[in-house]
Copies of this chain bind each other. A is one copy, B any other.
Amino acid sequence: MAHHRFKPNTYYTTLGSHPPALNIADGDRVCALTADARGCDESGETVANRGNPMSGPFFVEGAEPGDALAVTLHRLFPNRPTGFTGTRIAPNVLDPEYVPDFEDEMDTLLWAVDNERRTVRPIGLNGTLGDLELPLEPMVGCFGVAPPRGQAISTATSSTHGGNMDYRGFGEGVTVYFPVFVPGALFHIGDGHAVQGDGEIVGTGIEISFEMEFSVKVIKGADICWPRAEDMRYLMVAGNARPLDQCVQHATTEMVQWLKERFEFSTREVHILLGQAVEYDVGNVYDPAYTMICKFPKSVLDSLGLLPDGTETSVVGLRAPS
């Protein structure tokens, strides 16, 4: 299990079958430097094109189409003192007839990111918001694998391969399972946010360069359709599409499959369970494809005696052990 440190020479604004930047083995850990959404690195220098430039792709040995790639996010460290956000709720998130009466021309807002205090603060705001301080909640906005059919899909959007899901639940400690479509999976990662509201409704989180430390694991023949994930409390599935209704459909259908495959519930049991215990989160309602997350609480599995280690911190994984 090697531990790699990776600083990109080349960045990509699509997730696609680009030449691998690094070959890694199943189980390896990588600490990757990532540029911010506008292509600026930890020193504030522009090193990549705008629009969520990706670090990678990482060729994971042994990953084949039909497998899943499990990516565990161990450490998400914003590695410079300031990030930036948009300052206007996107028009598609507000009533069509709403026109904001802004008092200024502000386009971008800088935020101080303090890894010690684990907070963020806007810079240069007067008035009440001058005192605003929010807890640091680092997350990955855009990551995923090379899509099928030789596609190269913009890092502005998302689909079955992952991509720009902008879900604040993709933070430290989560394991995300991506379907593998090409040999080596070709994993890309970037677009870190120090903080983000649900929905990414101003079009950004607090965009900043990162050190992102993750490990990978290949799950053979997992045969999943959409990105799945788990943390200490939840199983999660991301559905990426428009409108949000369709995200719900993708995510819920995939969760039905997961619970059936993993725990050998009957179809009826899964419908009953989800009916009274499902939860949903909004990933983003800004990008070309929106994201909804279907969540199932591990506490319910625990109360049924189904967690592998008998504790809520169990890793559930994709399939029942055979």
Please list the residues of chain A having a beta carbon within 8 angstroms of any beta carbon in chain B.
Answer: 12-14, 16, 51, 85-104, 106, 109, 120, 122, 125, 127-129, 131-134, 149-154, 156, 195-199, 201-202, 204-206, 241-246, 248-250, 252-253, 256, 263, 265-269, 271-282, 285, 290, 300, 303-306
Say whether, besides A245-B244, A280-B199, A303 and B133 are in contact (CB < 8 Å).
Answer: yes
Quick one: copies of this chain in the complex? 4
Interface centre among A99, A204, A243, by most chain B C-beta atoms within 10 angstroms, is A243
Judging by beta carbons under 8 Å apart, are A304 and B128 in contact? Answer: yes
Q: How far is the CA of A305 from the CA of B131 in the complex (A)?
A: 9
Judging by beta carbons under 8 Å apart, are A275 and B245 in contact? Answer: no
Q: How far is the CA of A197 from the CA of B268 in the complex (A)?
A: 16
Judging by beta carbons under 8 Å apart, are A87 and B276 in contact? Answer: no
Measured CB to CB, the nearest residue on chain B to A105 is: B268
Say whether, besides A244-B244, A267-B100, A278-B197, A95 and B14 are in contact (CB < 8 Å).
Answer: no
Judging by beta carbons under 8 Å apart, are B93 and A268 in contact? Answer: no
Interface centre among A195, A244, A275, by most chain B C-beta atoms within 10 angstroms, is A275
A85 CB contact (under 8 Å) in B89, B154, B156, B275: B275
Say whether, besides A202-B272, A202-B275, A304-B129, A252 and B91 are in contact (CB < 8 Å).
Answer: no
Judging by beta carbons under 8 Å apart, are B128 and A197 in contact? Answer: no
Q: How far is the CA of A34 from the CA of B208 in the complex (A)?
A: 47
Say whether, besides A206-B276, A242-B241, A245-B285, A268 and B104 are in contact (CB < 8 Å).
Answer: yes
Measured CB to CB, the nearest residue on chain B to A16 is: B152
A96 CB contact (under 8 Å) in B96, B133, B201: B96
- A268 to B: closest C-beta gap in Å: 5
